[in-house]
Amino acid sequence: MAVGVGLALAPALAAGPAVAAAVHPLPGTSCTAFPADNAWHADVSRLPVHPRSAQWLGHMSPTRLLHPDFGGPYGIPITVVDGTHPKVPVTFDYADESDAGPYPLGSDTRVEGGQYDSGDRHTVVVDRDACRLYETWATGRSGTAWTAGSGAIWDLRSNALRPRGWTSADAAGLPILPGLLRYDEVAAGDVDHAIRFTTNVTDRSYVWPARHSAGSISDASYPPMGARFRLKASYDVAAHPAQAQVVLRAFQRYGLVLADNGSPWFFQGATDARWPDALLDDLKTVPASAFEAVDASSLQVSPDSGQVRTTTRCVPLGPWRVHC
């Protein structure tokens, strides 16, 4: 605690970037998608533009429009279970970079693309009692035997990152859940986190808080895994319908996180039959050229933690005293 004395009250002082004012629990749980001071909830609206922003965007099909990679039966589903759900062993292709488990998978587990069809076949399972997150990629099942390409287990109350160089169920070694846009938060008018997105060609590198690269080229003019982009402040959000404005304001405040290789400017959301076609169609009108890469290095507290530096406010205690 510090107490300052002066002839006038000092204005509120910021010691670091701001984070979400309130992080809302995930539906059906009392758990948040990581703590409020996690990088996923960091306000990047005032961070400097990254020096390589123009180069990266030049290699990301900048003439394209955004594409919401979800709607109706599409998207990445979220399964919520309680602590009594049976857990099973999973055999991983990349066992040396996967958490051994066991995982709470079963016939009730919702799998991206349907039960074990083609595609990425991600599973995202939240244990609401332990506030633990289980994610798998390329998930398969034969009888009672479960397989996956890779898997990761996360404590939703912790800012701990994966070991350096480890993948997760996502190419960047990040959790998938906190980067999914959900209909419940859009309908409530408050998205409190960054959103996961993809592009087709990436550099063989990664930047904090990502832990793993999956690029096809060694060229720093291409974006690395973990790169963060925001919608420019000059973009006219008010020209869009109300629900689209909620999403676009999140793009301006929290941004997009490059988490995997895929179609350029496809951003991900949770599977939900309530997604309105009109909202998705409107979001498809936003040009990629309205985005810029940001330098998020000032957010980092530790290279092995997703915690970010938070804003410190000085609060008036009286006519001559300020508490910081």
Q: Is it the case that residue 279 has pLDDT exceeding 90?
A: yes
- Whether the link from the prior residue into 89 is cis, omega within 30° of 0, is no
Lowest mean pLDDT among 2-11, 24-33, 183-192, 230-239: 2-11
Q: What pLDDT, on the 0 to 100 scale, is given for residue 37?
A: 97
Interatomic CA distance for residues 221 and 77, integer angstroms: 34
Partner residues linked to 323 by β-bridges = 3, 315
What Rg, from alpha-carbon coordinates, does the chain have? 20
Torsion angle of C-alpha atoms 33, 36, 38, 39, degrees rounded to 10: 100
Q: Is it the case that residue 7 has pLDDT exceeding 50?
A: no
Q: What pLDDT, on the 0 to 100 scale, is given for residue 230?
A: 98
Q: What pLDDT, on the 0 to 100 scale, is given for residue 205?
A: 98
| Sequence-distant (≥ 6) Cβ neighbours of residue 130 within 8 angstroms | 83
Q: What pLDDT, on the 0 to 100 scale, is given for residue 12?
A: 37
Lowest mean pLDDT among 112-126, 197-211, 221-235, 286-300: 112-126
Residue range 224-263, pLDDT digits in tens: 999 999 999 999 999 999 999 999 999 999 999 999 999 9
Q: What pLDDT, on the 0 to 100 scale, is given for residue 311?
A: 61
Of the candidates 153, 124, 126, 156, the residue with the CA atom closest to the CA atom of residue 35: 156
Mean pLDDT of 112-120: 77
Residue range 172-210, pLDDT digits in tens: 999 999 999 999 999 999 999 999 999 999 999 999 999
| Sequence-distant (≥ 6) Cβ neighbours of residue 178 within 8 angstroms | 33, 34, 38, 40, 41, 193, 194
Q: What pLDDT, on the 0 to 100 scale, is given for residue 19?
A: 75
For the chain, the average pLDDT equals 91
- Band of residue 116 on the pLDDT scale cut at 50, 70, 90: low
Mean pLDDT of 263-278: 98
Q: What pLDDT, on the 0 to 100 scale, is given for residue 119?
A: 82
Q: What pLDDT, on the 0 to 100 scale, is given for residue 21?
A: 63
Residues in the chain: 324
Q: What pLDDT, on the 0 to 100 scale, is given for residue 18?
A: 72
Residue range 160-173, pLDDT digits in tens: 999 999 999 999 99
Residue range 40-82, pLDDT digits in tens: 999 999 999 999 999 999 999 999 999 999 998 899 999 999 9
Q: What pLDDT, on the 0 to 100 scale, is given for residue 220?
A: 98
Q: Is it the case that residue 4 has pLDDT exceeding 70?
A: no
| Sequence-distant (≥ 6) Cβ neighbours of residue 250 within 8 angstroms | 181, 191, 192, 193, 194, 195
- Band of residue 314 on the pLDDT scale cut at 50, 70, 90: very low
Q: What pLDDT, on the 0 to 100 scale, is given for residue 17?
A: 63
Give a three-class secondary structure readout of the chain: CCEEECCCCCCCCCCCCCECCCCCCCCCCCCCCCCCCEHHHECCCCCCECCCHHHHHHCCCCCCECEECCEECECECCEEECCCCCCECEEECCHHHCCCCCECCCCCCCCCCCCCCCCCCCEEEEECCCCEEEEEECCEEECCEEEECEEEEEECCCCECCCCCCCCCCCCCCCCHHHCECHHHHHHCCCCCCEEEEECCCECCECCCCCCCCCCECCCCCCCECCEEEECCCCCHHHCCHHHHHHHHHHHHCCEEEEEECCCCEECEECECCCCHHHHHHHCCCEHHHEEEECCHHHECCCCECEECCCCCCEECCCCEEEC
Mean pLDDT of 102-117: 88
Q: What pLDDT, on the 0 to 100 scale, is given for residue 16?
A: 53
Estimate to the nearest angstrom the gap between the alpha carbon of 166 and the chain centroid: 17
Q: Is 21 exposed, middle or buried (0-12, 13-18, 19+ CB in 10 A)?
A: exposed
Interatomic CA distance for residues 252 and 203, integer angstroms: 25
Partner residues linked to 199 by β-bridges = 261
Interatomic CA distance for residues 215 and 225, integer angstroms: 8
The CA distances from residue 247 to 72, 187, 195, 232, 277, in Å, are 18, 10, 10, 13, 15
Q: What pLDDT, on the 0 to 100 scale, is given for residue 72?
A: 86
Q: What pLDDT, on the 0 to 100 scale, is given for residue 15?
A: 44
